[in-house]
Amino acid sequence: MAGTDHNPWRRFLALPNESRTKTLVMAFLVSGICALMVSGATVLLRPIQTANRAAEEQARIAELVRGIPGMTDLLEQSGGTLSTVVIDLDDGRAAQDVTTETFATVLADTANWTALEPAADIAGLAQRPDYAQIFLLRTGEEISLVLLPLTGQGYGGRIDAILALEGDMNTIAGIAITGHSETPGLGGRIEDPSWQARFPGTLLRDEGGELRFGVARGTASTPYQVDGITGATRTGRGVSNMVQFWLGPDGYGPLLRAINRGEF
């Protein structure tokens, strides 16, 4: 008569495969091993994932820059470094608890949006995010270019754009319309490079600091205007309102003042 096997593992393995105890224990062991493997892989791959996200972000920034007339040449001439910063729009400073990695998640929370008073809502947004992701080009310690995402209402619907400002925070370096619903052949011409090429060199504020930028109804007559598009007055007004809102006190105004004070 064979002796009793006192090894619990061998006794467990000797149980019939139909045993409920054996099935449950094996399932628990397999799930535990898989969890450990996944956790280990996550730890090991985290530096690679972080590097990949950074590379993807830089590629996205580069794509945005290429969409702005003259920006590629400007970047090459300056030789600076383009970086991404999430700012708190209320005080115009870098956000303390929001990063580029968590930015999208933060904006998905309605608590991080501010309702706009009708009198201040010239861009037709109804509400404004509390945070924005901007792009800065530094040449040495100086900011030589800032790229600001904009959004507003045109004639046909929402208009999205990236506005580039020179280091004085008062001269437009370029603009890229990244999305719109305007009428093809009329307001839709805001996406034409020939129209966007009219923006570089346009001033935003006069000597007294008053924001005077606007899209003219026809040919620009002041240093603060760009030529309008024939037959698309309401689209031009939408672009004007969008720029004026975002560069005003409820948009990037606090940021631009902070940059001018040398706080960035």
Q: What tens digit of pLDDT does each residue of 182-207 get?
A: 888 888 888 888 888 889 999 999 99
Beta-carbon contacts of 57 under 8 Å, excluding residues fewer than 6 positions away, are 84, 100
**pLDDT over 70 (residue 50):** no
- Of 77 and 54, the one with more pLDDT: 77
Write down the pLDDT at residue 52. Answer: 61
**pLDDT over 60 (residue 171):** yes
Structural domain boundaries of the chain?
13-57, 67-260
Q: Which two tokens stand for residue 121?
A: 């809502």
Say what the pTM is: 0.73
H/E element, 43: helix 20-66
**pLDDT over 70 (residue 125):** yes
Q: Are 127 and 115 in contact (CB under 8 A)?
A: yes
Q: Which two tokens stand for residue 218?
A: 């026809």
Report in angstroms the alpha-carbon separations of 154 from 103, 138, 178, 195, 197.
Answer: 26, 33, 13, 16, 20
Q: Which two tokens stand for residue 26?
A: 């094996």
Write down the pLDDT at residue 232. Answer: 85
With cut-offs at 50, 70 and 90, classify the pLDDT of residue 68: low
Q: Which two tokens stand for residue 114?
A: 């501010």
Q: How far apart are the first and last CA of the chain?
A: 85
Report the C-alpha gap between 176 and 147 in whole angstroms: 10
For the chain, the average pLDDT equals: 83
